[in-house]
Structure 1
Amino acid sequence: MTTTLVLPGEAVAPGDAQTPQTLDVQAFIDSRPLSLHQWRVVLLCFLIVFLDGLDTAAMGFIAPALIQDWGIDRASLGPVMSAALIGMVFGALGSGPLADRFGRKGVLVGSALLFGLFSLASAYSSGVGELVVLRFLTGLGLGAAMPNATTLLSEYTPVRHKSLLVTSMFCGFNLGMAGGGFVSAWMIPAFGWHSLLLVGGVLPLVLALALLFWLPESARYLVARGHDVERIRKVLRPIGEEAAQAKGFSIPEQRQEKSGNVFAVIFGGTFRVGTLLLWLTYFMGLVIVYLLTSWLPTLLRDSGASMERAAFIGALFQFGGVLSAVAVGWAMDRVNPHKVIGLFYLMAGLFTYAVGQSLGQTALLATLVLLAGMSVNGAQSAMPSLAARFYPTHGRATGVSWMLGIGRFGAILGAWIGATLLGLGWTFAEVLTALMVPAGIATAAILVKGLVSHADAT
């Protein structure tokens, strides 16, 4: 079924969505090489998730300095570690329906302003309670940013490069997290823990201004919501002059739900099982990512590593995702994406276990941390791309954002499990061995989805 928008008074013959008068938006994008206009969208979305990653990882890197500066124990930081993650849940769950109703661009600009302002405020916190509140508010913006950047970019990319470009953009998140580690290894000893939060606050505010002027709205969203044809021409014209001549625009979907309720879309028909399996997979992956992101530097510090070395090795875990994301996206465009992602989750469990067995061997430990990061972060980076391919236009932002939002409960659980197990006296090796369980579940869930609910909507 096809959603078609034409100028008032201009008739379109039934089934004539492919005529020169009515331009199929996706076919138009697919038929042309990537334009500078599209590369600008890629860059801006990359910067959004880069700063999202930088701010998200900040607490893990400043935790050792906070413990020392405020004279608190590790367990006291549990609420701080979880606060932003809880905010990210609400930010993701709320932003998807808003973006499907009011547009992707406005939500992205608002999210950058939100997490920039409250990250800036967090730098001036004077106690744990105040920091918990500010990190929760920061998390609202962080949670809204990533799913809508994924959705917007996926709607500007040709099918032949969709997974590669979306996954490459998403590796900005891992690069931001890794960058936070490399920068904190230098900044925190020199300027204190406040400095990392200041950087994480100022940069998103600058980016919000750039988004306001240079980021276009999704053409597919504009068609789906029945916006003015001239506005659609304006956002598509930089891709090709054919758009300027079109009398109307269409967005063909292989599966089109008649309900205007976005939740009826993502839970309707064959989407229901796929939605639940996407949630389970992403949830389990984030248990691994956030336990290691939140506590690996502290675990290494407790094992005798210097603060600088602990931050550096922790950053390698995130940097691994940068190295693997492009390869994962490339493979997903060529072979069954579910098998590609499943393989990376399986390797994540094996390498995480190996990290726990390598304590005291610095070179080996750093190598295995990098490989574990390549595996689990590569798989996680691919999940939003898979979800964006799975859902139709009018439910895509909700489908992607709810997968990320529900998955954040796994992030909260991972951070909490780390604090709890360390409080119970578990060793470094025992904590990491336990992570083989969520890795195994994630592997099984994504492979099952590939069997029962595998088709793309676009």
Structure 2
Amino acid sequence: MLIQRQDPASSGAQMAASASIVTAAEGAAGIADSRSASAAGGITRGNIIARIERMPGNAMHIRARLLIGLATFFDGFDVIAIATTLPLLIAKWSLTPGQIGFLIAAPSVGQLVGALVFPALAERFGRLRSIGWSAGIIGLMSLACGFAPSFEIFALLRIVQGLGLGGELPVAATYINEVTRAHGRGRFVLLYEVVFPIGLMVSNGIGAWLVPHYGWEVMYFLGGVPLVLFFILRRVVPESPRWLAEKGRMAEADGALRAFEARARTPLPPPGDTSAFDAMTHHPRRRVRDLVGKAYLGRTLAVWMLWATCGFIQYGLSTWLPTVYKTVYHAPLQLALNLAAGASVLGVVGSLVCAMIVDKVGRKPVINVSFLLCALSLVLAGVFHASTVYVVATLCALAMGFLASGFITAYVYTPELYPTSVRAMGCGLGGAWLKLAAIFAPSLIAGTIGSGNLSGAFLALAVVPFLAALTVHFLGIETKGQVLEELEV
């Protein structure tokens, strides 16, 4: 699709507005070059892409990664908080196995809606608005959960909080991918995304220490921190230049990109001939229905299976683990929480390893090997379920570590598969399948784990990552090292 140039009457005003945000630090040669191009009315999508691709990571990337990472961190924190507080909530409200399964799955109802609504908002109003709104809901509802007087109100608040939890992750992954160049994108994005498993680990670790001493409410009070982002995010981080350019808002795209360029550690080279990048933008504009059309159907099926698997295992197993250790193996509460926290540590380790190798070996090999090893660990947990709690906990920790490796890679892989016009929605639909799996997995597993049938539960769980590895292998494409627009069809 060709982007029309601005008419002469409006060009001067728009360029003046864009130039007003340029700081003295932008006197570098590369910045002067891009200003000249803007003054000449030559800003195109190709020019924006070329400037992104010439720009290594800098202080503004770090700021964006830290602040948006804060939302993602507490997304992981709040998701797993239920696992550390569940044993006390069961005793407090005398919950039945069915109520326990509903309480675990309740936020996923909201997350399913959020995974569809917030990416749609991101496509229309911008990535940062959507992230800020979702972070506000996460924080506000977490605070409210700490004051919940009953099981019913607590479950309702968790459903509402799920709107933000479901919407934040796919849009955040979309934004981080869009402001990053192809070279080293996998490592850059995954070092950002590692904050999610860190959130899981910290939630387990802090919960194991705080909950026995200060009660379950403290976890939800801590989970209110993301509310701050609702007020500050758009003031301190630029909008995605790729999204602005795709919308035809070239002056704003130029201004947002200058905010990144101003933080470059060294003068940037001139963009040079951008014709090759302009050619990448000539693909037809895609709509949501194209995600299941001929061009993208194979990619979409791979994405849906990938995310559904992560939801099924993450919510069907990890949230049950402290309760399993306590009720089936009769471990003390503190030990049960400590063993569950150990699984989160391996998740962080696996995620860091993936960040180091994903640009070298590729996305598909990392996902497939991780899922196959996750399946193997679950099979072994089923075979040795009658052993001590330490054997089962070790195998479950390995399974969660391997799952985290594949799961985190999905956050760089999924946005790479779709064009800018539907990238957030492609990620959101993937996230919706994760939430669907999360809704049904706890109840399905409750019938086996809840009744003590650990062997059947572990073996059934193992089938899911095995099938996902096959689907990604045969239907997915490799994306490492390619400009996002190169991957469009």
Same fold (TM over 0.5): yes
Q: Percent identity?
A: 26
What's the secondary structure of 2:80's corresponding residue? helix
Task: State the distance in 1 between where 2:404 and 2:281 align.
Answer: 30
Of 167, 181, 186, the match for 2:209: 186
Matched, 1:280 2:302: no
Unaligned stretches of 5+ in structure 1? 11-16
Matched, 1:208 2:230: yes
Matched, 1:100 2:148: no
Per-residue CA distance 1:42-82 (angstroms, 9 max, x = gap): 11222111100011111122110111122223332221111
Counterpart of 1:372?
399
Q: Structure 2 counterpart of 1:414, which letter?
A: A
Matched, 1:238 2:264: no
What's the secondary structure of 1:160's corresponding residue? coil
Counterpart of 2:344?
318
Per-residue CA distance 1:160-195 (angstroms, 9 max, x = gap): 121222222222111111211111111111111111
Matched, 1:388 2:408: no
Instruction: Please say if residues 62 and 188 of structure 1, whose CA atoms lie closer than 8 Å, have aligned partners that are also in contact.
Output: yes
Instruction: Please say if residues 255 and 392 of structure 1, whose CA atoms lie closer than 8 Å, have aligned partners that are also in contact.
Output: no
Of 222, 225, 244, the match for 2:247: 225
What's the secondary structure of 2:336's corresponding residue? helix
Q: 1:227 to 1:181 in 2, by over 3 A?
A: same
Task: State the distance in 1 between where 2:280 and 2:73 align.
Answer: 33
Per-residue CA distance 1:235-280 (angstroms, 9 max, x = gap): 211333699x99xx997574765346x3134233321221122102
Counterpart of 2:435?
408
Matched, 1:41 2:54: no
Deviation at 1:453, TM superposition (A): 10
Deviation at 1:444, TM superposition (A): 0.8
Counterpart of 1:439?
465
Q: Structure 1 counterpart of 2:106, which letter?
A: A
Counterpart of 1:13?
none
Q: Structure 1 counterpart of 2:403, which letter?
A: V
Answer with 311-320 or 183-192: which moved more. Answer: 311-320
Task: State the distance in 1 between where 2:304 and 2:390 align.
Answer: 36
Per-residue CA distance 1:99-134 (angstroms, 9 max, x = gap): 111100001110011111111111111222112211
Task: State the distance in 2 between where 1:398 and 1:431 align.
Answer: 33
Counterpart of 1:14?
none
Task: State the distance in 2 between where 1:95 and 1:257 align.
Answer: 25
Q: Structure 2 counterpart of 1:413, which letter?
A: F
What's the secondary structure of 1:78's corresponding residue? helix
Unaligned stretches of 5+ in structure 2? 12-33
Task: State the distance in 1 between where 2:386 and 2:181 align.
Answer: 45
Q: 1:222 to 1:453 in 2, by over 3 A?
A: closer
Task: State the distance in 1 between where 2:194 and 2:48 align.
Answer: 27
Matched, 1:263 2:262: no
Task: State the distance in 1 between where 2:386 and 2:204 align.
Answer: 20
Count of aligned residue pairs for this structure pair: 446
Counterpart of 2:165?
142
What's the secondary structure of 1:216's corresponding residue? coil
Q: 1:32 to 1:5 in 2, by over 3 A?
A: farther
Task: State the distance in 1 between where 2:112 and 2:359 align.
Answer: 29
Per-residue CA distance 1:282-322 (angstroms, 9 max, x = gap): 21232111111221111011111121221122122233221
TM alignment of 1:273-352, pairs within 5 A = 273-302=298-327, 303-352=329-378
Deviation at 1:217, TM superposition (A): 0.8
Instruction: Please say if residues 448 and 454 of structure 2, whose CA atoms lie closer than 8 Å, have aligned partners that are also in contact.
Output: no
Q: 1:359 to 1:180 in 2, by over 3 A?
A: farther
Q: Structure 2 counterpart of 1:234, which letter?
A: G
Q: 1:253 to 1:437 in 2, by over 3 A?
A: farther
Q: 1:5 to 1:381 in 2, by over 3 A?
A: farther
TM-score when scaled to structure 1?
A: 0.89
What's the secondary structure of 1:109's corresponding residue? helix
Q: 1:110 to 1:405 in 2, by over 3 A?
A: same
Answer with 94-103 or 447-456: which moved more. Answer: 447-456
Q: RMSD between aligned alpha carbons? A: 2.9
Counterpart of 2:19?
none
Q: Structure 2 counterpart of 1:271, which letter?
A: Y
Task: State the distance in 2 between where 1:377 and 1:353 align.
Answer: 17
Deviation at 1:359, TM superposition (A): 5.7
What's the secondary structure of 2:316's corresponding residue? helix
Q: 1:268 to 1:453 in 2, by over 3 A?
A: farther
Deviation at 1:226, TM superposition (A): 1.6
Deviation at 1:426, TM superposition (A): 4.0
Larger radius of gyration: 2
Task: State the distance in 1 between where 2:470 and 2:423 align.
Answer: 24
Task: State the distance in 2 between where 1:283 and 1:68 align.
Answer: 31
Per-residue CA distance 1:218-240 (angstroms, 9 max, x = gap): 011111112251x2232211333
Of 131, 139, 142, the match for 1:116: 139
Instruction: Please say if residues 341 and 382 of structure 1, whose CA atoms lie closer than 8 Å, have aligned partners that are also in contact.
Output: yes
